[in-house]
Structure 1
Amino acid sequence: MTKHEAELVAMLRELDDPEWLERPRDYDRGKVGALFNGLVARLKDDFATQCVSERDTQDSSEYGRVTVPADATACGTRIVVCVSKFGSLALVCAENPGAFLGTGEAQAEGELDAADLDNVCRTLADLGYVIVPEELLERDYAGPSQLPWHVQRPTWWHRFFGIF
């Protein structure tokens, strides 16, 4: 595990409060929504296209998703950004979460352009989001929270982006 990965895991552990599964104790829906609106607007401008968004996901620790359409990307594969209700966590993936084991695999298969990925990551960083790689989120969950019974193999993704 790299130093950066270790720092991200430490941050996930710090955010993990067993009493607050769906959202953190200090959750401010208005603040999270305003930040998400800014993300949608920036991606729309950056890619010069309308980006579809879903927000305020019910019974989930994910706040919402914004999708850059395939026809606006260099490789013709849509880019999906998932935003958690916890700590401004964000996940960037090609096509959908789980379609590739991370952005590196999507790039290696020619499905994600480095410049498009850099553009999305820069936008997220500018807005204060913390990007957590899908590879890390797919690791086995090792925290104190009791995740829902229907989760067969709990991962960090289930904890911070999953449905409850």
Structure 2
Amino acid sequence: MAMSETELLALLRELDDPERLERPLHYDRAATGVSFGGLVRRLEADFGVPCESERDSQDSSEYGRVRVPADATVCGTRIVVCVSKFGSLAEVCADNPGAFLGTVEAREEGALDPGDLATVERALAELGYVNVPEELLESDYEGPSALERFAARPTWWTRFFGTVW
């Protein structure tokens, strides 16, 4: 079951530790890698193509990204799934983070098929990830971490997926 915006914001605030910007206190790199590998395999199976991925991002609160190639999607736009080092947070984007204001705009502009999005969201949910909409992640950051030294306009995306040191 998808979380409401209120529940998602509460989760983001709960995970926000100003002493640990890159990863949480009990971060398990190996377990995160295993989960991420499962996500890559699942998306490859669901879309029937190899998916490019990068993992174990350095100096970032993002763990990695999976890219579903454009030629495997209905609209011909690649789908990018970003995974955070915090609480199994994930984000789904058409083309790249920030290319659209979110999945709603991408769908409205014909860049993201609702069925493709549902396939990715189902995989995330079944694998235990919490999908946080890009629209919410791009809202102003309102937590205790001093992010203004890293970004002119800190966002929740900056906090949980960006480079913050």
TM-score, normalization by structure 1: 0.97
| Displacement of 1:147 | 1.8
Q: Does 1:77 align with 2:77?
A: yes
Q: Deviations over 1:51-87 (max 9, x none)?
A: 0001000000000000000000000000000000000
**Identity of matched residues, %:** 70
Give the match for residue 119 of structure 1.
119
**What's the counterpart of residue 18 of structure 1?**
18
Matches of 2:5 and 2:162, distance apart in 1: 21
Structure 1 residues 139-148 or 81-90, which shifts more?
Answer: 139-148
Normalising by structure 2, report the TM-score: 0.96
Letter paired with 2:9: V
Unaligned runs of 5+ in 2: none
Q: How does 1:23-62 map to 2 (within 5 A)?
A: 23-62=23-62
**Could you list the runs of 5+ residues in structure 1 that have no partner in the other structure?**
none
CA shift, 1:149, in A, is 1.9
Q: Following TM superposition, by how much is the alpha carbon of 1:148 offset from its aligned partner in structure 2, in angstroms? A: 6.0
Q: Aligned-pair RMSD on alpha carbons?
A: 0.9
Residue 106 of structure 1 is matched in structure 2 by: 106
Displacement after TM superposition at 1:146 (Å) = 1.3
Write out aligned runs for 1:77-96 (5 A): 77-96=77-96
Deviation at 1:150, TM superposition (A): 3.3
Give the partner amino acid of 1:151: A
Give, in whole Å, the separation in 2 of the partners of 1:118 and 1:18: 34
Aligned to 1:128: 128
Q: How many residues align?
A: 162
Deviations 1:115-160 (A, max 9, x none): 1000000000000000000010011101001126231100000000
Q: What corresponds to 1:140 in structure 2?
A: 140
| Partner-residue secondary structure (3-state), 2:4 | helix
